[in-house]
Chains A and B, each alone.
Chain A
Amino acid sequence: MSDTHAHSVAFVRMETIPQSAPPLAAAGPVRWGKDNLFATPANALLTIASLVVIYFILAATVPWILNGVWNAGSLSECREILQGTSGACFAVLTERWPQLLFGFQYPSEAYWRPTLAFVLMLVALAPVLFFDLPRKLLIITALFPFVAYWLIWGGTIWAPILALVGFIVGYLVYAKFVNRSFAVGFFGGIAAAFVVWALSGYIVPALTPEETLLSSVPSRDLGGYMLNMMLGVTCVSLSVPLGIVLALGRQSSMPLIKWVCVIFIEFIRGVPLITLLFVASVMLAFLFPPDQTVDLFIRVVIMITMFSSAYIAEVIRGGLAALPKGQYEAADSLGLDYAQAMRLIILPQALKISIPGIVNIAVGLFKDTTLVSVISMFDILGMIRGPILASTDWNGLYWELFLFACVVFFVVCYSISQYSQWLERRLATDHR
């Protein structure tokens, strides 16, 4: 602005005006609503349509839930209390709570055992899920499977202890020989563990007293949501190592090993889980020795583990393929052998890339554990469709039970996927 101009106008403000608040229509909720809800006529229509949908959903469910009856002995009692008003009969959940959680055959005086195992599982999972916790907690994680087995199935304590001893002996042998050669240590450790287990097969029956501390519960008595949890946790933790082995096998330069892995993975991925469960329930027994009966639970665990390990192998293969070739070459040029290169350089990076995929598979697997109800195992869905809906007390009641099943699955699956997203952000070491 030139000086001459300053003389040609009547008034020039010398100081800046203090900032005033934006007009109501340009800020705050009004502006937000205008931008996000009513930007264009079509948008406004969509908003109104959504509001109608939300209203109908809430109008149908909220009074029904708030009006719910939590204490009644049967459906007819429930209806009496409600007297024709719309309301849920959550009493079925309170009355059948132990059955929904533990199945209808698990001894009621032993309910504290799976509950304790569940709490221990949370403790054991914590150091695996959150790296900041003290590493010593991993000892609990290592001991957990044996404690949980003893708590849930009961019986003699010597079986899980000797199984644990087998692992310890195997680890000691591995630690002694691993410096010489990874292969010697690895296979030596496995062999040593098998020797211990074979021996304990003779020792355990001799050590078992008549009366055990915890009463023994056969596998067919397991049920309810506990069964879903057990299948989910066991199969996921077994199928991750198996998946790594399969993925490495599929990348192997040895044609025989490569093709065995390819055929296994493609076969499993090509058939639905339900056919594999049929295999577990009607066909697998034919492949075991005639004098040996293998528990249905174990057969199902075998098949589900095979199923999910094939999918996990594909995820890990993606992670391996995503690593730049330079990483493999760098490991080679350092003079590392195959086992060292994989253990120290390739797998840590490949697994990190694969974590979201593995978690997706884990969520899918946990949801798929409901399929065991089709081969007449009484998981939570089997309990609802079988003993509970068939009982004279609660016949004709659906929504409360299905809502409960939905909620328990949603809570677990949604939290796992949220955890996975958190972990992904946490592990992102690139693009800082």
Chain B
Amino acid sequence: MSTTTDPQGGTFRLSMLLNDSRYRSLTLQAIAAIMLAASIAYMISNLLANLAAQDLNISFEFLGSPAGYDINQTLIDYSSQSSNLRAAFVGIINTLLVAVLACITATILGVFAGVLRLSNNWLVRKLMSFYVEIFRNIPVLIWIIIIFTIVTAVLPGARAYLGEDPERNMLAGMFAFTNRGVYVPAPFFTTGFGGEEGSGLNWLLVIGVLIASFFATRFVTAGADKKQAETGIRPNTLYLNLAIWIVPVAIVLFILGLSWDLPDPLANRFNLRGGLQIGAPLIALWLALSVYTGAFIAENVRAGIQAVSRGQTEAASALGLRPNRTMSLVILPQALRVIIPPLISQYLNITKNSSLAIAVGYADITATLGGITLNQTGRAIECVLLLMLFYLTISLLISAFMNVYNNSMKLKER
């Protein structure tokens, strides 16, 4: 509010607390503070009274006690004797696993569908808008359950793949699609750290080499840019970059003795042995989140490309740029500025929607900490608070990242 009409100076009277806009905001805030404090105090007193009535207390000691339940899909060592805290960590890693997987596939699907929605081809355009409308207008929970049902009710049991003369053959002898999930070859290292048991160190080494390759290619590209700026001729870096990506990692994998553990149909009469089992709940959640969010991302991509005016394309061709250079140097940088912020909030949505895992029994943080641990220990308040804290941290991290990105991409106006 403007303060120019306020009387200047004068002595302070009590009525000015209501009538003078210099003091009224203080009065209002004081009232608000009192009401807020009163309602919080009321709720806390209710909470304490309820806890006392049910002979409960608030304590986080249960996190240290054994969880007492098994989790079928874990990336870190876990047994039913592990603590509830360990179970929660398994859940966190599973949440992040499905979120990352779904983010990748949803982006691919969304970009694909979004670009095709702008295709010259009428049929493809209609087909893609059909996809977008169908998936956007039906709840993601229904999609998760439908895909889960497809996996568990339509795919055959593991028995179909067993024996010398199975009913069904594994795809390329490596992939088995069963109602419990998909069996894929599992990589392991014969001569790496940790011997036969294997160790996480091997994977860290591989990832480290890949990161080093990434920076090396950045270095090469920067060198090429510099050369182009100086001489006007761009050296061809494609083969060099490919070599940097492939050769070191291949050497490391060879030294560590990479080998594949195939699912074996003959080892056992009841189930497939070996290989890596990707459970049905994970597949259902992953695919459903991908196709559902992919539909939203498709709309973002379409809007982003349409936001770049046609004049930009025309200007680029007037400058004599070839179509692919036009795309990579003129259209995409401008479209990405529009696409990336909603894309990141879609990633946030994927992470939050992954909590629906509980509907199909995938052991994410909501199902371990907010589901089984909560029910077994009865520590409802503590579990729900920790659960919220986890999701809040993730969202704040993602939004912080988004702010940094937005600031760096903001049009620098003079």
Contacts and interface: CB of A to CB of B under 8 A. Distances in A.
B381 interface: yes
Interface in B42-93: 43, 46-47, 49-51, 53
Contact of B121 (A47, A256, A363, A385): A47
A288 B392 CA distance: 25
Interface in B1-28: 1-2, 25, 28
Interface in B365-382: 366, 370, 374, 380-381
Question: Counting chain B CB atoms within 10 Å of each CB, which of A35, A43, A271 scores highest?
Answer: A271
Interface in A250-296: 253-257, 260, 266-267, 269-275, 278-279, 282-283, 285-290
Contacts, number: 153
A272 B146 contact: no
B357 to A, nearest CB: 9
A417 interface: yes
Contacts of A373: 141, 359
A290 B56 CA distance: 14
A36 to B, nearest CB: 4
A157 interface: no
Interface in B324-360: 352-353, 355-356, 358-359
Tell me the interface secondary structure of chain B in the complex.
helix
B53 A290 contact: yes
Given A272-B353, A272-B391, A381 B141 contact: yes
Nearest to B374: A282
Question: Counting chain A CB atoms within 10 Å of each CB, which of B53, B394, B395 scores highest?
Answer: B395
Given A257-B29, A278-B387, A287-B46, A402 B122 contact: no
B411 interface: no
B141 A37 contact: no
Interface in A205-260: 253-257, 260
Contact of B392 (A270, A338, A363, A414): A270
Nearest to A35: B120
20 contacts: A37-B121, A43-B119, A46-B119, A53-B127, A54-B127, A271-B391, A271-B395, A275-B366, A275-B384, A278-B384, A282-B380, A283-B380, A286-B50, A363-B137, A367-B140, A374-B359, A385-B145, A402-B146, A409-B138, A413-B138
Contact of B142 (A37, A51, A405, A417): A405
Contacts of A338: 1
Contacts of B134: 410
A47 B203 CA distance: 43
A287 B1 CA distance: 38
A406 interface: yes
Given A257-B29, A283-B384, A402-B149, A272 B137 contact: no
B124 A46 contact: yes
A241 to B, nearest CB: 18
A274 B355 contact: yes
B121 A290 contact: no
A37 B122 contact: yes
B141 A371 contact: yes
A39 B121 contact: yes
A46 B120 CA distance: 11
A370 B49 contact: no
Interface string B216-250: 00000000000000000000000000000000000
A36 B120 CA distance: 6
Question: Counting chain A CB atoms within 10 Å of each CB, which of B122, B138, B139, B353 scores highest?
Answer: B139
Given A274-B355, A283-B384, A51 B138 contact: no
B87 to A, nearest CB: 17
Contacts of B358: 274, 374
A180 to B, nearest CB: 12
Nearest to B379: A282
Interface in A19-69: 35-37, 39, 43, 46-47, 50-51, 53-54
Interface of B: 1-2, 25, 28-29, 32-33, 36, 43, 46-47, 49-51, 53, 119-124, 127, 133-134, 136-142, 145-146, 149, 153, 352-353, 355-356, 358-359, 366, 370, 374, 380-381, 384, 387-388, 391-392, 394-396
Interface in A334-367: 337-338, 363, 367
Contacts of B356: 274, 371, 374
Interface residues of A, number: 57
Given A35-B120, A256-B29, 10 more contacts: A46-B119, A253-B1, A253-B25, A278-B374, A278-B380, A286-B380, A363-B137, A367-B139, A398-B153, A402-B149
Contact of A409 (B25, B49, B137): B137
A286 to B, nearest CB: 5
B359 A286 contact: no
Interface in A366-404: 367-368, 370-371, 373-374, 381, 385, 398, 402
B123 A409 contact: no
A351 to B, nearest CB: 21
A290 B353 CA distance: 33
Contact of A367 (B46, B53, B138, B355): B138
Contacts of A385: 145
A271 B121 CA distance: 41
Contacts of B366: 272, 274-275
List 6 A-B pairs, minimum CB-CB distance, nearest first.
Answer: A270-B395, A36-B122, A272-B352, A413-B137, A282-B380, A367-B139
Contacts of B47: 286-287
Nearest to A288: B46
A287 to B, nearest CB: 5
A339 to B, nearest CB: 11
Interface in A98-139: none
A220 B43 CA distance: 25
